Structures are given as structure tokens and as C-alpha cells.
């Protein structure tokens, strides 16, 4: 046990004690193993005698070929056992509410106010069908409309759709709109999208899915997007630029207007991936930099909880010139009532069913309405202050560096490098992250490819206190010291997690991978399904 004994690090006036942490470990079986024949978790309302008498055995209406003969082989469990199982699994999951979640850079892990969850769960929201008569959905349409006005002010854009169900769906929507814009002018030669390596991989992937060829720009020596490379890349084939700013390094591109101008002069459109907007709310906007499109992740910047990876919304904004291409319907107000406008002949169509993930929109609206313009500005300022504070703490740890933009401040996150530590100890960034998990925090490296060697990306949003940041830095300093002293301790981590080191090889082997329990039984227990 002495191996895991926490130490204490001096952090200013207060001393930061690391926690004696161990994650819950229930050794919880797979649900199917808990099955007990005959048990029931919930009962279905019984069909009334009147109905049974009128229709007889309704299955008789089905041809034999369409009647399932064997019931699905689902587990059989009582209600308390289903609940207990899932509560145990929940304890084996480290939600943002439970930890200092600054280690998931690019994802803007912030506090999701509970009042907003409560409002989103109310029957007045939960029990609305999307196709109800407009007269009965004036409340929710008003929320959509009001929130669009808010986003217009925050971005300077003229129209928004809230239909895309996440950031990547928004990027895809942007790419579809760019295509529609060029095609509407009869220009079908523009088949290239330019992006940067420090913009989210979906900028490349979604644009490719939308049919474009991708040109990826690498940064200049100082880590800034390379203007000369952009000039060399644009041509009559350029459909548009998809770019993040600040990029995932936390560096703001001061020449962003020039980037936009170069692409415009070549006849392309510019789309602003605002996944990293948290540090610039109320500071700078898409409009002033000349962008034609932009999108915000409401599950990141606007506080809607991440839900283990959705549901989410990628709110997409465009200039007046592009509004006609937005997905249908848009929400409008005629001075008297709110309504859904489908009469948009040049629309790219639908991106998803209905109008977007309404409870996410509702939470985001409530979040803005709790803070106002001054509060949003405070969000940005504190997020950036927190980041620069953590940057200072991190750079005090031997073996850590913050590549690029030497001596400059950063916006809302930093992509650090442990290259120095790796060279000294042989311990890699991933392993540092897994050891950090032993102290009850998340940690993430970077998207692929690792342009920054041995990367880690920290984004301490406005939700974390000075003490939180001190603790996080103390954990990483402690792990770095362990790497020097006892590299094996770090490279064999985690030691205090729910599970031990996972065997990854079967997951890449078609003969052994198993994505369902039934496949696992067939492949690993040689059980034949009847």
C-alpha cells in the first residue's frame, strides 16, 4: 500500500493533499448472467376484455412468416435488481459532477446546472410530440426562437438552425450548405475543403463525407495556422475553409481576418468551428472576422450535460446570403405567434428528424438566461484566467512543456507535451493519464495524429476553483515524480480503478472481437445459440 500513499505538495499558502482514492469495484456481472427465469422488471397495461372480445387474437392478422416464434432472449430480472445493477455501473463511471474534469481538453467540461435538468425533465417539455398543432407548442417554439436571437448576438450571424444533433452533424451541415451555395451559382468545380490539423478531426471527416477533397494545413514554427500554406492551397477548386479559433492548442490565430480574406478572394466560403468558443464569449465574434458560417456545441460551451456522448446539439449559424440553404423548418415569429417555416425551396433539406434535440436547447437557453451578457463575458474571462493559472502550474512540473507561441498567454486550453519526461523516464503520456485516474481524475492526450509529441490537452473551464486547479496540478506533479522514481508504477497503472489493464488485442481481431454478449458466448465460450 505504500506504493499508493499520497503525498502533499505545497501550493502557495495552502497545502494540497492528494486523495486516498479508489474507484468503486463491484465486479458486476453482465446482465445476462444475472437473469433469473420468470422474474419481471415491469408489467405492461393489460388489454381490456372489450378489446380482446372485439379483435380476438390479434396475431391472427399476421402471416406465419411475420410472426416471431421465440421470444427475444433478453435477461429476466426483477425491478430492484435492474436498478441495483445500473446504480453499480453508475458508480463505476466518473461523471464530470464528481471530479475536477479539466483533463478532457477540447470538450469544455463545465458545470451543468441542475435547475436546467429539472426544467428539461418537466412534463411540459418531456411530453411534447414534435408534430403537434403549432397552437399547442407555442412555449417550446418561443424557446427555440429566443435562443436563436441569443446566438445571433453572440456570433453576429443572421440565421441559425438548431437541427444538427451534435458538433460533427453541424460541420456536415456547413459542408452541405457550402456545396449548395456553389451549385446554386452553377459552380461545380469547387471540390476542395481546407482545414487545419489543430481543428477537430470531424472538420476533415465530415467534409469528406459530404464529397469534398481535403487539404490539411500544418502550423508554422510558432504554432499559428500557416498563412503562406493557405495562400498556396487556395485555387478555383476551393469550396471553403473549415477552421477552429482558438485552435485545439489554445492559441488564437491573430491573422484570422486574412485567412478569411484569402479564401473569399479565391471564391470560397469560410466556416468557423466554434467548439472552442468558451474563452471568447463576449470577446470576439464570427461576424467581425468575416465568416460565412459557424457552429456552437450546446453540450459544451452552453452547459448541456455531455450524457456519456450525447444527446447534443450543433447550433449552426449563417449570414443572410446563406440563410436560404438552411435545413427545414426554421422557427419564425409573425408578431403574434411562433411557427415552423417549411417554405424554403433552396434548403438543403433535413439533417435529422424534426427540429433538433429540444431539451438540450432548453437547457442552453436557461443557462444563458441565468448569466446574461455580463455573465457570459465572466465565463470567458474566468475560463481563460483558469487556463493561464494552470499553465503556470504545469510548467513548474519537470518534463512538461507547452509547445508553440513561446512566452505568450493562451486562451481556454493548452496542448502540453511530456516529451521531456518521456525522454528522461520512458513513461508515455497515456500512462501518465492512467496513473492520474488512480487519484480520481480524467486525463486525455489529443486527437490523432499526435502532432505535439506525448500530448495532453487540459481545458479548465470557468467551473473549477483555484483549489481544484491546484489539486489537478499536484496530481500530475506527483505522477511525474513517480515516473522519475518508479516508472513501472506509472506504466502499469491504473491501480485504483474499477478494472485492471485491459487486453486490447482481441478488440482488433475479427476472430475474437465480440460486440454483443451472444457473439462473446459463441467465440469465447463455444456456446451455440439455438
Partner 1 sequence: MNDGKSVVYPYIPNSAPETKAQMLKDVAAESTEDFFEDVPERLRIKGMMNLPDPFPSEWALKKHVEGILAKNRTAAECLSFLGAGCWQHHVPAVCDEVNQRSEFLTAYAGEPYDDHGRFQALFEYTSMMGELLDMDVVNVPTYDGYQAAATALRMAARITDRQEVLVARTMCSGKLMKIRDYLKPDVELRLLDYNRLTGHLDLDALRSAISSNTAAVYFENPSYLGFIETAGNEISGLAHDFGALSVVSVNPITLGVLTPPARYGADLVCGDIQPLGMHMQFGGGQAGFIATRDEEKYVMEFPSRLFGITSTRVEGEYGFGDVAYERTSFAQREKGKEWVGTAAALWGITAGVYLALMGPKGMTEISDAILARARYAMLQLSKIGGIQTPIFQSPHFGEFVVNFDDTGKTVGEIHRALLQHGIFGGKDLSREFPELGESALYSITEIHSQEDIDRLAQELKEVVA
Instruction: Tell which positions 241-300 bind partner 1, by CB under 8 A.
Output: 251-254, 256-257, 280, 282-285, 288-289, 297, 299
Task: In whole angstroms, give the CA distance from residue 100 to residue 463.
Answer: 9
Which position among 2, 3, 5, 27 is part of the footprint of partner 1 (CB under 8 A)? 27
Return the range that interacts with partner 1 (CB under 8 A); candidates 225-233, 265-273, 481-489, 513-521. Answer: 513-521
Nearer to partner 1, 284 or 424 (CB): 284
**CA separation (Å) from 446 to 105, 439, 457, 487?**
8, 21, 6, 22
Apex CA 290: angle with CA 285 and CA 291, to 5°? 75
**CA separation (Å) from 25 to 35, 91, 323, 376?**
21, 8, 52, 40
| 516 near partner 1, judged by CB under 8 A | yes
CB neighbourhood size of 124 (10 A): 11
Nearer to partner 1, 368 or 480 (CB): 368
131-160 mask for partner 1 (x: CB under 8 A)? Answer: xxx-xxxxxx-xx--x---x--xx------
Task: In whole angstroms, give the CA distance from residue 104 to residue 488.
Answer: 25
Which position among 4, 216, 229, 453 is part of the footprint of partner 1 (CB under 8 A)? 216
Which position among 1, 3, 5, 12 is part of the footprint of partner 1 (CB under 8 A)? 12
Task: In whole angstroms, give the CA distance from residue 296 to residue 274.
Answer: 5
* Beta pairing class for 213-217 and 192-196: parallel
| 518 near partner 1, judged by CB under 8 A | yes
Return the range that interacts with partner 1 (CB under 8 A); candidates 1-9, 90-98, 262-270, 478-486. Answer: 90-98
Distance of CA 64 to the CA centre of its chain: 46
Q: For the CB of residue 397, give the shortest distance to partner 1 in the complex, in Å.
A: 16
State the sign of the Cα–Cα–Cα–Cα dihedral 139, 144, 148, 150: positive
User: Hey, which residues between 91 and 110 contact partner 1 (CB under 8 A)?
Assistant: 91-98, 101, 104, 107, 109-110
| 330 near partner 1, judged by CB under 8 A | no
Return the range that interacts with partner 1 (CB under 8 A); candidates 235-243, 413-421, 443-451, 479-487. Answer: 443-451
Give Cβ neighbours of residue 385 (< 8 Å, ≥ 6 apart): none
Return the range that interacts with partner 1 (CB under 8 A); candidates 225-233, 265-273, 357-365, 421-429. Answer: 357-365
Nearer to partner 1, 230 or 360 (CB): 360
Say if CB 33 and CB 72 are below 8 A apart: no
Q: Give the 3-state secondary structure of residue 160.
A: strand
Which position among 192, 247, 292, 462 is part of the footprint of partner 1 (CB under 8 A)? 462
| 406 near partner 1, judged by CB under 8 A | no
CB neighbourhood size of 336 (10 A): 6
Q: For the CB of residue 7, give the shortest distance to partner 1 in the complex, in Å.
A: 21
Task: In whole angstroms, give the CA distance from residue 470 to residue 11.
Answer: 7
Nearer to partner 1, 352 or 484 (CB): 352
Task: In whole angstroms, give the CA distance from residue 33 to residue 373.
Answer: 53
Return the range that interacts with partner 1 (CB under 8 A); candidates 1-9, 263-271, 359-367, 482-490. Answer: 359-367
| 1 near partner 1, judged by CB under 8 A | no
| 451 near partner 1, judged by CB under 8 A | no
State the sign of the Cα–Cα–Cα–Cα dihedral 15, 16, 20, 24: positive
Give residue 39's region: left, alpha or beta (phi > 0; psi -120 to 50): beta
165-204 mask for partner 1 (x: CB under 8 A)? Answer: xxxxx--x---x--x---------------------xx-x
List the one residue out of 435, 495, 163, 501 whose CA is nearest residue 314: 163
| 392 near partner 1, judged by CB under 8 A | yes
Which position among 261, 264, 324, 466 is part of the footprint of partner 1 (CB under 8 A)? 466
| 222 near partner 1, judged by CB under 8 A | no
| 349 near partner 1, judged by CB under 8 A | yes
Q: What is the CA radius of gyration of the chain?
A: 26
User: Hey, which residues between 56 and 75 contact partner 1 (CB under 8 A)?
Assistant: 58-59, 61-63, 65-68, 71-75
Return the range that interacts with partner 1 (CB under 8 A); candidates 234-242, 308-316, 413-421, 479-487. Answer: 308-316
Say if CB 31 and CB 77 are below 8 A apart: yes
**CA separation (Å) from 269 to 71, 283, 355, 483?**
54, 23, 25, 48
Which position among 237, 264, 333, 389 is part of the footprint of partner 1 (CB under 8 A)? 389
Return the range that interacts with partner 1 (CB under 8 A); candidates 396-404, 415-423, 436-444, 479-487. Answer: 436-444
**CA separation (Å) from 67 to 58, 71, 74, 146?**
11, 10, 18, 49
| 437 near partner 1, judged by CB under 8 A | yes
Amino acid at each position: 500500500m505504500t506504493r499508493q500513499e499520497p503525498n502533499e505538495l505545497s501550493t502557495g499558502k495552502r497545502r494540497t493533499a492528494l486523495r486516498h482514492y479508489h474507484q468503486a469495484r463491484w465486479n458486476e456481472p453482465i446482465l445476462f448472467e444475472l437473469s433469473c427465469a420468470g422474474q419481471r422488471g415491469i408489467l405492461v397495461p393489460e388489454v381490456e376484455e372489450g378489446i380482446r372480445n372485439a379483435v380476438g387474437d390479434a396475431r391472427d392478422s399476421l402471416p406465419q412468416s411475420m410472426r416471431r416464434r421465440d421470444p427475444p432472449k433478453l435477461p429476466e430480472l426483477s425491478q430492484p435488481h435492474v436498478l441495483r445493477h445500473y446504480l453499480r455501473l453508475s458508480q463505476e463511471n466518473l461523471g464530470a459532477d464528481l471530479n475536477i474534469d479539466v483533463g478532457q481538453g477540447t470538450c469544455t467540461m463545465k458545470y451543468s446546472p441542475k435547475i436546467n435538468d429539472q426544467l428539461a425533465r418537466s412534463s411540459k417539455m418531456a411530453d411534447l410530440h414534435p408534430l403537434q398543432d403549432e397552437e399547442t407548442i407555442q412555449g417550446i417554439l418561443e424557446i427555440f426562437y429566443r435562443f436563436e436571437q441569443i446566438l445571433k448576438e453572440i456570433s453576429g450571424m443572421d440565421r441559425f438552425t438548431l437541427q444538427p444533433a451534435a458538433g460533427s452533424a453541424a460541420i456536415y451541415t456547413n459542408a452541405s450548405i457550402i456545396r449548395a451555395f456553389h451549385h446554386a451559382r452553377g459552380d461545380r468545380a469547387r471540390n476542395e475543403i481546407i482545414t487545419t490539423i489543430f481543428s477537430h478531426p470531424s472538420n476533415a471527416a465530415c467534409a469528406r463525407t459530404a464529397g469534398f477533397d481535403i487539404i490539411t494545413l500544418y502550423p508554422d514554427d510558432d504554432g499559428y495556422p500557416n498563412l503562406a500554406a493557405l495562400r498556396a492551397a487556395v485555387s478555383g477548386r476551393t469550396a471553403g475553409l473549415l477552421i477552429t479559433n482558438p485552435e485545439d492548442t489554445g492559441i488564437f490565430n491573430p491573422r484570422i481576418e486574412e485567412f478569411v480574406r484569402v479564401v473569399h478572394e479565391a471564391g470560397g466560403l469560410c466556416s468557423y468551428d466554434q467548439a472552442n468558443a468558451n474563452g471568447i464569449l463576449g470577446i470576439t465574434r464570427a461576424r467581425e472576422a468575416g465568416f460565412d458560417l459557424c457552429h456552437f456545441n450546446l453540450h459544451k460551451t452552453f452547459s448541456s450535460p455531455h450524457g456519456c456522448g450525447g444527446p447534443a446539439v450543433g447550433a449552426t449559424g449563417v449570414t443572410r446570403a446563406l440563410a436560404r440553404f438552411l435545413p427545414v423548418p426554421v422557427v419564425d415569429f409573425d408578431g403574434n405567434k411562433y411557427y415552423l417555416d417549411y417554405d424554403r425551396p433552396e434548403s438543403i433539406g433535413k439533417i435529422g428528424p424534426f427540429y433538433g434535440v429540444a431539451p438540450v436547447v432548453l437547457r442552453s437557453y436557461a443557462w444563458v438566461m441565468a448569466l446574461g451578457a455580463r455573465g457570459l463575458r465572466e465565463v470567458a474571462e474566468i475560463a481563460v484566467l483558469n487556463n493561464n493559472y494552470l499553465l503556470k502550474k504545469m510548467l513548474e512540473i519537470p518534463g512538461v512543456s507547452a509547445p508553440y507561441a513561446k512566452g505568450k498567454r493562451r486562451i481556454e486550453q493548452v496542448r502540453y507535451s511530456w516529451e521531456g519526461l518521456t525522454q528522461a523516464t520512458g513513461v508515455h503520456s497515456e500512462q501518465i493519464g492512467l496513473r492520474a485516474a488512480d487519484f480520481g481524475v480524467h486525463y486525455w492526450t489529443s486527437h490523432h495524429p499526435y502532432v505535439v509529441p506525448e500530448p495532453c490537452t487540459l481545458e479548465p473551464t470557468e467551473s473549477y476553483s483555484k483549489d481544484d486547479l491546484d489539486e489537478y496540478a499536484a496530481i500530475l506533479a506527483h505522477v511525474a515524480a513517480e515516473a522519475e522514481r518508479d516508472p513501472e508504477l506509472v506504466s502499469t497503472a491504473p491501480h485504483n480503478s474499477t478494472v485492471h489493464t485491459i487486453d486490447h488485442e482481441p478488440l482488433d481481431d475479427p476472430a475474437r472481437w465480440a460486440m454483443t454478449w451472444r457473439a462473446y458466448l459463441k467465440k469465447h465460450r463455444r456456446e451455440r445459440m439455438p
